[in-house]
């Protein structure tokens, strides 16, 4: 499938840094380092984070595609340095030499073993360095570029935690302002009444040397009708969202709208009745579909919920076998968070924004922000008059 907005990342967890390029960004989008750094800082927040967050203070460097605060229409190139690289300079050197800090003991739940088998690595560090969630730092940085583009078109994308472990927050169709207030919560939850209980659950897991997963929701407001398509399987927007969100390390489930809950109800309790009124046109008064019908956006807020497994690195580790000696051992611990669900919200936002930016360009085209905005305005008039 032709992508109108696409990105690629490179870099290892303990290497010099991360590199990213996003192609398809139209000219004239306001973009500064401060805007990108804001999302990078949000990714590092959250109760239950581990030692690396005390080391890294992620800041972006813009290497191309932006001049005097505006995008040029050419690819935007970004870098984020790893401060911890100073302690790994020899171990991660690209120059010929004898590797140290060799890993031969695969950790359960990680890509170590299958990655080693697939690529023929006897030193599993070659796998874990790239498979690490550190890579998502650059996804968030590039996602901030998508945020700047979408925001200029009146589209806002934010997320919040809906559960950590067995502690769930009440589900509701929260407004944009309510979701943004979740930034004040240590666990990024809208309903403050459950925040303390979530933090106690994190503390209990930490005491036991264990980890916790959870769920979070990402919501896009201001999305126009008509993004995506039903004409081919790969053009359905929920399919594209699912692929993007499940590509995030540790994500295991995605639902749109009320998702899995719909399987337990009758159709009359699930579908959204259509409403029409002069000046507004067609709309819906409920949004159980999550803003998507037939693979196409309805104009209602786009709502997706993501399930994250407990993190694989445990301080009370599981058993494994050394790939060289074939001797059993308890898995090694590099560094681990107790939970990263609040941080995963920001990564989820980034991936949703990349998909929406691509869908906007697919539907409306255009080389500059002004051209695209004019096309969307014209389209919105067509939709109101339908």
How many whole angstroms separate alpha carbon 113 and alpha carbon 106? 5
**3-class DSSP assignment, residue 171:** coil
pLDDT at 50: 66
Q: What is the DSSP letter of 189?
A: B
Each residue's pLDDT tens digit, 34-80: 999 999 999 999 998 765 555 668 999 999 999 999 999 999 999 99
Each residue's pLDDT tens digit, 16-30: 999 999 999 999 999
Q: Does residue 61 contact residue 13 with C-beta atoms inside 8 Å?
A: no
Q: Is the dihedral of CA 97, 98, 101, 107 positive or negative?
A: positive
Residue 117's pLDDT band, with cuts at 50, 70 and 90, is very high
Report the chain's mean pLDDT, rounded to a whole number: 94
pLDDT at 180: 96
For residue 349, give both structure tokens. Answer: 């936002």
pLDDT at 51: 57
What is the average per-residue pLDDT within 336-364? 96
pLDDT at 332: 63
Residue 7's pLDDT band, with cuts at 50, 70 and 90, is very high
pLDDT at 335: 59
* Closest to 134 (Cα-Cα) out of 334, 310, 371, 355: 334
Burial 55-92, CB ≥16 within 10 A → b, else e: ebebbbebeebbeeeebbbebbbbbbbbebbeebeebb
Q: Is 269 exposed, middle or buried (0-12, 13-18, 19+ CB in 10 A)?
A: exposed
Q: What is the DSSP letter of 169?
A: P
Query: Can you identify the CATH homologous superfamily of domain 6-384?
Result: Chorismate synthase AroC (3.60.150.10)
What is the average per-residue pLDDT within 201-215? 93
How much of the chain, in percent, has pLDDT values that exceed 70? 97
How many whole angstroms separate alpha carbon 201 and alpha carbon 299? 38
Each residue's pLDDT tens digit, 222-277: 999 999 999 999 999 999 999 999 999 999 999 999 989 888 999 888 899 999 98
* Closest to 308 (Cα-Cα) out of 385, 366, 371, 245: 245
pLDDT at 224: 97
pLDDT at 142: 98
Residue 90 has pLDDT above 70, yes or no: yes
Residue 327's pLDDT band, with cuts at 50, 70 and 90, is very high
Largest CA distance in the chain: 75
How many whole angstroms separate alpha carbon 184 and alpha carbon 342? 12
Q: Does residue 290 contact residue 303 with C-beta atoms inside 8 Å?
A: yes
Residue 163 has pLDDT above 70, yes or no: yes
pTM of the model: 0.95
Residue 155 has pLDDT above 80, yes or no: yes
Residue 184's pLDDT band, with cuts at 50, 70 and 90, is very high
Residue 312's pLDDT band, with cuts at 50, 70 and 90, is confident
pLDDT at 315: 73
For residue 363, give both structure tokens. Answer: 């539907």
Question: What is the domain partition of the chain in residue ranges?
Answer: 6-384
For residue 328, give both structure tokens. Answer: 């059993």
């Amino acid at each position: 499938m032709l992508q109108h907005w696409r990105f690629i990342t490179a870099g290892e967890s303990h290497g010099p840094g991360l590199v990213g390029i996003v192609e398809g960004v139209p000219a004239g989008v306001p973009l500064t380092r401060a805007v990108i750094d804001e999302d990078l800082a949000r990714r590092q927040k959250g109760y239950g984070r581990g030692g690396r967050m005390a080391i890294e203070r992620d800041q972006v460097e813009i290497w191309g595609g932006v001049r005097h605060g505006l995008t040029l229409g050419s690819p935007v190139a970004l870098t984020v340095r790893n401060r911890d690289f100073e302690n790994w300079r020899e171990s991660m050197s690209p120059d010929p030499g004898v590797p140290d800090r060799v890993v031969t003991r695969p950790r359960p739940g990680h890509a170590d073993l299958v990655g080693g088998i697939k690529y023929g690595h006897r030193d599993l560090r070659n796998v874990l360095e790239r498979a690490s969630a550190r890579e998502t730092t650059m996804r968030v940085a590039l996602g901030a570029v998508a945020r700047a583009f979408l925001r200029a078109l009146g589209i806002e994308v934010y997320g919040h935690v809906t559960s950590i472990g067995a502690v769930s927050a009440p589900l509701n169709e929260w407004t944009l302002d309510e979701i943004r207030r979740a930034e004040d919560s240590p666990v990024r939850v809208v309903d403050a009444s459950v925040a303390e209980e979530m933090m106690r659950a994190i503390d209990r897991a930490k005491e036991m040397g264990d980890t916790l997963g959870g769920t979070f929701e990402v919501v896009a407001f201001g999305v126009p009708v008509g993004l995506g398509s039903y004409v081919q399987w790969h053009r359905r927007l929920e399919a594209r969202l699912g692929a993007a969100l499940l590509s995030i390390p540790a994500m295991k489930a995605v639902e749109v709208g009320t998702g899995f809950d719909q399987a337990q109800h009758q159709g009359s309790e699930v579908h959204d009745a259509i409403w029409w009124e002069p000046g507004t046109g067609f709309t819906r008064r409920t949004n159980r579909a999550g803003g998507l019908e037939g693979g196409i956006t309805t104009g209602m807020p786009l709502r997706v919920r993501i399930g994250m497994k407990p993190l694989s690195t445990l301080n009370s580790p599981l058993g494994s076998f050394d790939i060289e000696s074939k001797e059993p051992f308890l898995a090694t611990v590099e560094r681990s968070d107790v939970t990263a669900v609040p941080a995963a919200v920001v990564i989820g936002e980034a991936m949703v924004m990349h998909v929406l930016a691509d869908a906007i360009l697919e539907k409306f085209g255009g080389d500059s922000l002004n051209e695209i905005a004019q096309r969307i305005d014209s389209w919105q008039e067509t939709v109101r008059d339908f």
